[in-house]
């Protein structure tokens, strides 16, 4: 046994590592780090746990979009594979240099690529580590080195470590580097050590595991439902209007399929008022594939206990959902649901892997571009503030603290409840010497009245319907804080460099749709049905719990933390203007 088979003597980045004994060079012979530090959660996501006057449960997640936007001065890049792989990665190395022109870049590569790396002019320093044999077909890898040699080559600290290899067998080496940010291709579920991860195409190309199955059972507990009684093999409850059951958004076998939905309606007598039951198969969140509609009289046929629908699945990419919807004014009755059975009536010929859609070199360049997106001042607002556009003297001349509140979006399912906004505004006016500006469009004036009618204060200014989009920019730019939903105002305020606190419903997650400003933060309540992707509130079967569980005191705590300057970058921490020049965002 040599030292590559032993765990490291110390772990400066807070990871526990175990190594499978043996001399094999396969991926299962290396340390697979397990996360042990909250500071290393990917994408600057951390469960809210700061003490600010209220308890914050683990379900409240906080997304700080400015957390990674600090200067990048020292970079280490890993390119440990072979000569052809190195040549393919040269455009990505060029992009890395162009993105961080002032940073010191150290490249760690195989000894056979050292001369080419030095001639490239893209890096400042080259160190060698032979992780692979020089010739892949060598039966005995005599030229590989112990991991102690890698730790010497990668001695830090660094602001950023990036693995420029698509295959995942070198990803664990990032856990041996003292770096603030670790970047690579893969899933953060598989590699929790990654702070910035470009999803691996193989997660989409690989066989999902159901393509060869001719029979698939989806039990009731995989579905969301509003039925009152939930048991492992059945659910039942009242026959009422609404989406009774939906789910589970899953891959299905490719070919001609028959779905048998276990559904029965008992004790229902058709009345004069119309009522109907729709059993639907929906693809990719919203595309109706097939449905059966049972009208006022046809509902009696549902006593048989099963509904059969036939359809064809042409691709492994799609995800399917089954829905049971009651419309109209049904008379009393009982609904019983026992899951869905999918039969493959006719199989399709499928390849073992799907064709790749991206070149390996393109994936590496996309990884560097993603790093740039995550660490840069995307809108150039830090440089603008540094030149005095929002100087301290200008802020002082403006008067009392100014908080802009935009309680509306273009979809009610994205809106934090109006009564919660009213409570929050009342607490802000009571606790702080501030002025609250209520924002919205003319179409939202009636909705705003539900908030202003609860508050009597001259420090609440109702600007709903009274500002144009151009005037709104000035309001947002000069606000000390903007509180809003997932809306256009959130993104506009973030782009202008304002402090933003956006309250997100579970319909669309912040890591995909959040405001990407240097002082922007989004909060979301973590519920099991997220993300649902619904646009209509009536489609929600959970009573909008993702929003109602975020109470005004919790939002107040976040707001006061931001107003106190939490998350703001000090002048010395702002990324140099050269990075903004590379991005084309210099004001």
* Backbone CA torsion sign across 95, 99, 102, 106: negative
Q: What is the pLDDT of residue 207?
A: 40
Q: What is the pLDDT of residue 390?
A: 46
pLDDT reading at 388 higher than 90: no
Q: Which span out of 97-101, 131-135, 380-384 was modeled with the highest average pLDDT? A: 97-101
Q: What is the pLDDT of residue 505?
A: 94
Q: Which of 501, 490, 466 is nearest to 408 (CA)?
A: 490
Average pLDDT over residues 115-129: 96
Mean pLDDT value across the chain: 81
Q: What is the per-residue DSSP string for 503-570?
A: EE-TTS-HHHH----TTEEEEEE--TT------SGGG-SSTTHHHHTS-HHHHHHHHHHHHTTTTPPP
Confidence of residue 296 (pLDDT cuts 50, 70, 90): confident
Confidence of residue 583 (pLDDT cuts 50, 70, 90): very low
Phi, psi of 104 (to 5 degrees): -85, 120
Looking at per-residue confidence, does 11 or 69 come out higher? 69
Contact of 489 with 502, CB cutoff 8 Å: no
Write down all domains in the chain, each with its CATH number in brackets: 70-201 (3.40.50.2000), 215-347 (2.60.120.260), 376-583 (3.40.50.2000)
What percent of the chain is modeled with pLDDT above 70? 79
d(CA 546, CA 417): 11
Confidence of residue 249 (pLDDT cuts 50, 70, 90): confident
Helix axes 418-431, 552-563, angle to 10 degrees: 50
pLDDT reading at 410 higher than 50: yes
Average pLDDT over residues 545-565: 94
Q: What is the pLDDT of residue 33?
A: 35
What percent of the chain is modeled with pLDDT above 90? 52
Other residues' Cβ atoms within 10 Å of the Cβ of residue 93? 23
| Cα 582 → chain centroid | 26
Confidence of residue 281 (pLDDT cuts 50, 70, 90): very high
Confidence of residue 301 (pLDDT cuts 50, 70, 90): confident
Looking at per-residue confidence, does 396 or 447 come out higher? 447
Other residues' Cβ atoms within 10 Å of the Cβ of residue 89? 26
Q: Any residues with CB less than 8 A from the CB of 409 and at least 6 apart, and which?
A: 415, 484, 485, 486, 487, 488
* Strands 481-485, 500-504: pairing kind: parallel
Structure tokens at 170: 């070198």
pLDDT reading at 32 higher than 90: no
Which residue's structure tokens are 């070199």? 361
Q: Residue 86, class by beta-carbon neighbours within 10 Å (0-12 exposed, 13-18 middle, 19+ buried)?
A: buried
d(CA 449, CA 463): 11
d(CA 504, CA 483): 11
Confidence of residue 138 (pLDDT cuts 50, 70, 90): low
Q: Which span out of 96-100, 200-204, 230-234, 381-385 was modeled with the highest average pLDDT? A: 96-100
| Cα 341 → chain centroid | 31
Looking at per-residue confidence, does 274 or 388 come out higher? 274
Looking at per-residue confidence, does 447 or 135 come out higher? 447
pTM given for the model: 0.67
Which residue's structure tokens are 């939903």? 485
Q: What is the pLDDT of residue 451?
A: 94
For 330-372, write each residue's pLDDT tens digit: 878 889 999 999 998 887 665 555 677 889 999 999 999 999 9
Q: What is the pLDDT of residue 45?
A: 41
């Amino acid at each position: 046994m040599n030292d590559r088979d032993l765990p490291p003597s110390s772990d400066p980045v807070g990871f526990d590592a175990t190594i499978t004994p043996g001399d094999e060079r396969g991926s299962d012979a290396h340390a697979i780090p397990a996360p042990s530090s909250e500071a290393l959660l990917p994408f600057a996501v951390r469960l809210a746990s700061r003490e600010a006057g209220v308890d914050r449960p683990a379900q409240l997640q906080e997304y700080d979009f400015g957390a990674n936007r600090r200067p990048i001065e020292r970079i280490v890049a890993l390119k440990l594979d072979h000569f052809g792989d190195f040549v393919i990665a040269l455009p990505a190395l060029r992009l890395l240099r162009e993105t961080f022109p002032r940073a010191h870049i150290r490249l760690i590569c195989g000894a056979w690529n050292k001369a080419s790396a030095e001639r490239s002019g893209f890096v400042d320093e080259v160190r060698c580590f032979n992780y692979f044999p020089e010739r892949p077909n060598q039966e005995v890898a005599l030229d590989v080195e112990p991991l102690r040699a890698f730790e010497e080559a990668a001695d830090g600290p660094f602001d950023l470590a990036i693995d420029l290899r698509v295959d995942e067998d070198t990803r664990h080496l990032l856990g041996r580097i003292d770096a603030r940010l670790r970047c690579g291709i893969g899933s953060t579920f598989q590699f929790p050590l990654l702070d910035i991860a470009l999803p691996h195409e193989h997660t989409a190309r690989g066989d999902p595991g159901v393509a060869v199955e001719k029979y698939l059972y989806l039990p009731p507990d995989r579905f969301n439902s509003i039925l009152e009684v939930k048991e492992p093999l059945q659910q039942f409850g009242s026959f009422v209007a609404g989406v009774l059951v939906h789910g589970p958004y899953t891959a299905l076998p490719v070919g001609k399929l028959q779905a048998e939905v276990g559904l029965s309606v008992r004790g229902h007598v058709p009345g004069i008022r119309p009522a109907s039951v729709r059993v639907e198969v929906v693809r990719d969140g919203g595309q109706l594939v097939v449905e059966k509609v049972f009208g006022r009289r046809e509902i009696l046929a549902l006593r048989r206990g099963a509904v059969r629908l036939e359809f064809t699945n042409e691709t492994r990419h799609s995800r399917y959902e089954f829905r049971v919807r009651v419309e109209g004014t049904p008379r009393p009755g009982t609904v019983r649901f026992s899951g869905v059975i999918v039969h493959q009536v006719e199989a399709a010929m499928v390849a073992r892997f799907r064709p790749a859609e991206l070149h390996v070199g393109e994936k590496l360049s996309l990884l560097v571009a993603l790093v740039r997106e995550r660490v840069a001042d995307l809108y150039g607002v830090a440089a603008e503030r540094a030149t005095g556009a929002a100087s301290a003297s200008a802020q002082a001349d403006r008067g009392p603290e100014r908080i802009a509140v935009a309680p509306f979006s273009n979809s009610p399912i994205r809106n934090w409840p109006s009564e919660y906004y009213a409570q929050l505004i009342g607490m802000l006016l009571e606790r702080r010497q501030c002025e609250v500006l209520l924002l919205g469009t003319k179409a939202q004036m009636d909705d705003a009245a539900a908030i202003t009618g609860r508050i009597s204060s001259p420090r609440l200014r109702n600007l709903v319907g009274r500002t144009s989009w151009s005037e709104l920019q000035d309001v947002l730019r000069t606000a000390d804080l903007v509180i809003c939903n997932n809306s256009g105002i959130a993104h506009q305020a973030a782009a202008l460099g304002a402090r933003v606190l956006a309250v997100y419903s579970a319909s669309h997650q912040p890591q995909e749709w959040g405001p990407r400003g240097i002082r922007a933060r989004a909060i979301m309540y973590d519920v099991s049905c997220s993300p649902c992707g619904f646009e209509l509130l009536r489609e929600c079967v959970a009573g909008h719990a993702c929003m109602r569980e975020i109470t005004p005191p919790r939002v107040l705590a976040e707001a006061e933390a931001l107003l106190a300057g939490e998350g703001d970058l000090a002048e010395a921490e702002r990324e140099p203007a050269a990075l903004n020049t590379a991005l084309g965002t210099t004001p």
